[in-house]
Amino acid sequence: LQSKLPAVGTTIFTTMSALASEKNAVNLGQGFPDFNCDPALVEAVSDAMKSGLNQYPPMVGIPSLRLIIAEKIKKLHGYAYDSTTEITITAGATQGLLTAIMCAVHPGDEVIVIEPAYDSYVPAIKLAGGKPVFVQMTLSADGYTVPWDQVSAAVTSRTRLIMINSPHNPTGSVLSAIDIAALTDIVRDTDILILSDEVYEHMVYDGLVHESVSRHPELAERAFIVSSFGKTYHVTGWKIGFVAAPAALSVEFRKVHQFNVFTVNTPVQHGIAAYMKNAAPYLELSAFYQRKRDLFRAGLQDSRFKLLPSDGTYFQCVDYSAISASSEVDFATWLTSEIGVAAIPVSAFYSTPRESGIVRFCFAKQDETLHKALARLNTI
């Protein structure tokens, strides 16, 4: 069989989690919490199953869940999506991203990808026959920022889509209103679409605001917004999320969605909808994770790692160049095998070999897990 993705192997997350488990390392690599979700959420899903909500739901997701998402976006960001025609429930953000790319990108279309970028973007673009055009984020004392002049210069008549991700995996950077204004200027008077990955929407620190594209109508009118319940409710294994997009885009999205997964499992949809009616824990999520970020950063303050800013997400990047000149993959492997703490090499988020001496840790962990990892990292 001729491979459609010849350059793709097994994802770094799978590889590092397997190594962490083999070496009995503290796994700060793959991004997922090591604590459970709210028992009330499990109860709500189990109630749905017990009451017989176990057959196919509507193709686009159950109405009550779509409605509550639309209401939440309106309340938080001001944009009024029609829950009937503009919100679709997906099997996690990964499927939302793939489906959005499959419906928007035609063979030969160019898609601007800002690197480092989440690892699913480029394979999805290639499967659609698109051509990724890369712009690298700039790293300075302020952390990683997007050079919008370079994004602007990368636009051609073939540009179909610009992908953005804020809060950003792996760098933890957060786009500001100034960034959004720069992007708006670039796409104004073009037919370029935006794919905005907002899975970490409820994890922003130090009083920053998550500049959802849905706060900016001029962008929202041409955007697919992708989010994930896995991140917001500590249930990454449930693989459920949603895509919000104007009706004309959602029509095309749904055409692909119905033959991609058709629909997403029923009891989890009902459980989340019932839970969201009674609780809004996402309002406290930033404070919850900011405390963990601060604990983790304080624990590395006197180590030989240099901390980069982390303004959002549950990731902390560190520069290890004072410790080692190894490649990021070799360093992360050594850290996992010899020190007993797994990390993710940032080079895994670039399409071409690139070394910056930086690895990513995930701090979505119980305090005792973080303390255990910190004790080990401070022996280096």
Check residue 212 for interaction with ligand PMP (CB under 6 A).
no
Closer CB to ligand PMP, 190 or 262, in the complex? 262
Give me the residue whose beta carbon is nearest to ligand GLN: 31
Cα–Cα distance for residue pair 238/262, rounded to 1 Å: 17
Closer CB to ligand PMP, 159 or 165, in the complex? 165
Cα–Cα distance for residue pair 242/72, rounded to 1 Å: 13
Check residue 199 for interaction with ligand PMP (CB under 6 A).
yes
Burial bucket for residue 247 (CB in 10 Å: 0-12, 13-18, 19+)? exposed
Among 86, 110, 197, 201, binds ligand PMP (CB under 6 A): 197
Closer CB to ligand GLN, 173 or 266, in the complex? 173
**Pick from 75, 104, 345, 364: nearest CA to 226:** 104
Q: Which residues pair with 163 in a beta bridge?
A: 113, 195
Check residue 13 for interaction with ligand GLN (CB under 6 A).
yes
Closer CB to ligand GLN, 183 or 243, in the complex? 243
Helix 39-50 with 266-278: angle, nearest 10 deg: 130
Burial bucket for residue 306 (CB in 10 Å: 0-12, 13-18, 19+)? middle
Check residue 11 for interaction with ligand GLN (CB under 6 A).
yes
Q: Beta strand pairing status for 223-228 and 193-197?
A: parallel
Neighbours of 361 (CB within 10 A): 27
| C-alpha angle 269-274-277 in degrees, rounded to nearest 5 | 125
Which of ligand PMP, ligand GLN, none binds 150 (CB below 5-8 Å, type-dependent)?
A: none
Which of ligand PMP, ligand GLN, none binds 245 (CB below 5-8 Å, type-dependent)?
A: none
Q: How far is the CB of 169 from ligand GLN (least distance, A)?
A: 5
Contact status, residue 184 vs residue 219, Cβ threshold 8 Å: yes
Among 26, 31, 274, 359, binds ligand GLN (CB under 6 A): 31
Check residue 241 for interaction with ligand PMP (CB under 6 A).
yes
Per CB under 6 A, contacts with ligand GLN among 156-185 are 169
Q: How far is the CB of 51 from ligand PMP (least distance, A)?
A: 26
Q: How far is the CB of 167 from ligand GLN (least distance, A)?
A: 12
Among 15, 159, 165, 196, binds ligand PMP (CB under 6 A): 165
Cα–Cα distance for residue pair 116/197, rounded to 1 Å: 14
Check residue 228 for interaction with ligand PMP (CB under 6 A).
yes
Cα–Cα distance for residue pair 197/226, rounded to 1 Å: 5
Closer CB to ligand PMP, 228 or 323, in the complex? 228
Contact status, residue 271 vs residue 235, Cβ threshold 8 Å: no
Q: How far is the CB of 351 from ligand GLN (least distance, A)?
A: 16
Residues that bind ligand GLN (CB under 6 A): 11, 13, 30-31, 169
Residues that bind ligand PMP (CB under 6 A): 31, 92-94, 118, 165, 169, 197, 199, 228, 230, 236, 239, 241
